[in-house]
Amino acid sequence: MNLVVDVQYGNGAAAVAGILFEEWNSQRPFEVFTAVESVFGDYEPGAFYKRELPCIQALLARIPRVFSAIVIDGYVTLGGEDRPGLGMHLHEAIRGRSAVIGVAKTRFHGIPPEHEILRGDSQKPLFVTAIGCPLDLAKSRILAMSGPHRIPFLVKRADAEARELAKSL
């Protein structure tokens, strides 16, 4: 089993969604999990994890499984010097029990070109970072995910679930 997670914000709270899936090319979620948590501070560039990690940990506490991989909307490492990002902090928090793959839509300063992938007919890259599995494997897994567009379907679904929940806050 694998998991895609995303966090959205609204009215001083955070909505977090997790999409559980079996195969990398799965077209449908195996199961969907959601949670609402308090927001832990303001957004801090380069320290995104301080705000999102507690929310993701709260969701993981509700799911009685160990995952082969957890896909996050963001970076595992920042820039070319591998500074810890959200994914690295998550990997440490779960004591390395799952690989963590970061899929980011915007370029972080200094991210090397080998982290870029193009999906579908998009000429705009996604940026993949990983810990617990080689970068090439992480990239091939994201490329294998279902969906004809730049953003894989299940990544988009996690975003939509969290966004919908955040609207209700």
Between strands 31-38 and 13-21, the pairing is antiparallel
- Ordered per-residue pLDDT tens for the chain, 169 residues: 999 999 999 888 999 999 999 999 999 999 999 999 987 667 776 667 888 999 999 999 999 888 999 999 999 999 877 799 999 999 999 999 999 999 999 999 899 999 999 999 899 999 999 999 999 999 999 999 999 999 999 999 999 999 999 999 8
Domain chopping of the chain, boundaries: 2-167
pLDDT score recorded for residue 45:
67
What CATH fold (topology level) applies to the domain 2-167? archaeoglobus fulgidus dsm 4304 fold (3.30.2170)
Residue 108 contacts residue 129 (beta carbons within 8 Å)? no
Q: Please report the pLDDT score of residue 79 as a whole number.
A: 84
pLDDT of residue 46: 62
Dist CA 136 CA 138 (whole Å) = 5
Q: What is the DSSP string of 62-123?
A: HS----SEEEEES-SEETTTTEE-HHHHHHHHTTTSSEEEEEESSPPTT--GGGEE--TT--
Q: What is residue 38's predicted lDDT score, i.e. its pLDDT?
A: 84
Cα–Cα dist 130/88, whole Å: 8
Report the sign of the C-alpha dihedral through residues 108, 34, 157, 167, in that order: negative
